[in-house]
Structure 1
């Protein structure tokens, strides 16, 4: 009897945490529940087996089975069972390295002071661009001293609030803009990158605020949506990368794809979970790269730990000559665009400190 009542309670709990993210309320207490969809799926599978073994009521087993199905609707896209969104580069593009660009994105965790691990990793994989997130002045100094000879082009944006960033590039950077899109103290970078072929592409680097239980997510959601709108108007083929503090299957990320028209190379390939590097049982994909359909994918890898709570990601793309068809991608409807515009306007009118701007100080 006790086991049955425990299973009843767990059925109500799993149904609640599975259904709440369906409510399109931009608040961390709701949006954060969408992060552990993989974990909830496996938990429900275990509980379903336990319920069948214990002879629990039919509604209990039905709830566990229904929650599994609901979670699988979101996460199945990020398995090899799904059709891939990013096209694999053809032989001609693979051979033409003048049209290649490789990007290593790493959230270093500002309080992590193990600089050599990222430096040695960068030197080993030798990307065209290194994008370091959460860099403060000591991080910028350490990376600059070690990598300056190999990476002559650099954008330094150190901050001591966990929102700093730095870009190292072997390729020429131009039209550099560093701006706080919505919230003071939460910067982003936009610039052009000149490929070896001479072609220009646009790079956007983001690190919006994380969702927390005591605050709404309008800052994060608005910044991601605004970037999507800017990408849609950009005449150059675009790459958007960084720690988006959002999972690949969320309402916010899917809206970003509809607004921008960019492809997610994870779809049809794998989760490539990057956070939390410290806990194998609680990981989800927070670090991303989205690309214009003109690009074709060469490689994508999650790299070893660097002392941070995030794993680094390495992407290599080739700029094609004609856009590839991006399956499963819809355009944003007028109501969705209007809703995003209103959220952006509201967030711009607020005067507040960035969420978690003192977390890394406490960690030290």
Structure 2
């Protein structure tokens, strides 16, 4: 038991230190995703230490575990209701309540009807699918009567994106920031009560042993999107499968560069992946919004056969309410220089994907 305790302690120290090393290889980035699980294991190992026949030096390792728990806890507590964040009520000048669903459908998932029923059940004004290919596009045609406005980027390499809306699309654009097969979509919408806003969808590739060796393309794509979002002078929502966690360095740089707010802070993790394994679930389907977007509800919905849970959000727009501006953080000059370097590295990285793209 003593050997297991020491091995766990050593492993937890290693997993904590690896993300501190500024290397984009997946080995250094992957433990960022498991910070919640690592914190639980730290606590369990710490408790285990009290159950052992205490060797002379156990308090050194116990103190180290306590420091690890505090280190992770200081970050994670921000994404719980324990972290104080002022909530703002809807003003009379604001829009009506709006709703969206964002879902990585998993390209090889054939349970189309379960997703269609999910949309019919919650009736969002807009919804976006990721990893949607030609088969998914064909299956979702039954919803086009209720969602007459669409923007489609059909790929067969797990990076397709489809957007459906009951609201009028004033303009739509597909961006390819770092590679010609990794799309981001920019949709300008107008509500029935006259409010304009922008829905920005992203889905960069993850650093992993089975996909991209490094996080360069992911980070470059996300930070390019952040720079574009900063140029938009309307209320904006950015949502999608970020293949990233909110507390990673690149996510923080994204938030600061785009001047957006992370609604998870003071709320909850809203963990989405893996849908089938609750104890191994990470919050990688993220959302950020400008100061004139106010979130009433942000949560996951039931599984429809994908490896991701869908994200559901209820929000409203308020042009005359600037109380959230204090939550917007800006990048320093040093961080801005780092962002430019990461974008350039992302563009230079050569991803290993089959290029099959059509748009509609």
Q: Same fold (TM over 0.5)?
A: yes
1:164 is the counterpart of 2:163: no
Aligned residue in 2 for 1:63:
64
Residue-by-residue CA offset, 1:20-49 (whole Å, 9 max, x unaligned): 112232222111111111111111111101
Report the CA distance shift for 1:175/1:91 in structure 2 as closer, same or farther (over 3 A): closer
Report the CA distance shift for 1:92/1:315 in structure 2 as closer, same or farther (over 3 A): same
For the residues of structure 1 that align with 2:326 and 2:312, how far apart are their CA atoms?
A: 23
Aligned residue in 2 for 1:137:
134
Aligned residue in 2 for 1:261:
259
1:78 is the counterpart of 2:79: yes
For the residues of structure 1 that align with 2:123 and 2:88, how far apart are their CA atoms?
A: 21
Residue-by-residue CA offset, 1:304-352 (whole Å, 9 max, x unaligned): 0010011111111111122232555431011111111122123223444
For the residues of structure 2 that align with 1:105 and 1:182, how far apart are their CA atoms?
A: 23
> How far off is 1:76 after superposition?
0.7
Aligned residue in 1 for 2:297:
299
For the residues of structure 1 that align with 2:300 and 2:345, how far apart are their CA atoms?
A: 36
Residue-by-residue CA offset, 1:83-120 (whole Å, 9 max, x unaligned): 237x4433646xx6x44331100110010000011100
**Residues 150 and 163 in structure 2, CA contact (< 8 A), matched pair in contact too:** yes
Q: Give TM-score scaled by structure 1 length.
A: 0.91
**Residues 88 and 294 in structure 2, CA contact (< 8 A), matched pair in contact too:** yes
**Residues 274 and 281 in structure 2, CA contact (< 8 A), matched pair in contact too:** yes
> How far off is 1:155 after superposition?
0.9
> How far off is 1:216 after superposition?
1.4
Residue-by-residue CA offset, 1:105-140 (whole Å, 9 max, x unaligned): 011001000001110010110001010110010101
- Consecutive unaligned residues in structure 2, runs of 5 or more: 356-360
Aligned residue in 1 for 2:50:
52
Aligned residue in 2 for 1:5:
3
Select the residue among 203, 218, 221 that pairs with 1:220: 218
Aligned residue in 1 for 2:358:
none
**Residues 35 and 247 in structure 1, CA contact (< 8 A), matched pair in contact too:** yes
The RMSD of aligned alpha carbons is 1.8
1:310 is the counterpart of 2:318: no
Question: Equivalences for 1:29-44 in 2 at 5 Å?
Answer: 29-44=27-42
1:344 is the counterpart of 2:340: no
For the residues of structure 2 that align with 1:210 and 1:255, how far apart are their CA atoms?
A: 17
Report the CA distance shift for 1:7/1:257 in structure 2 as closer, same or farther (over 3 A): same
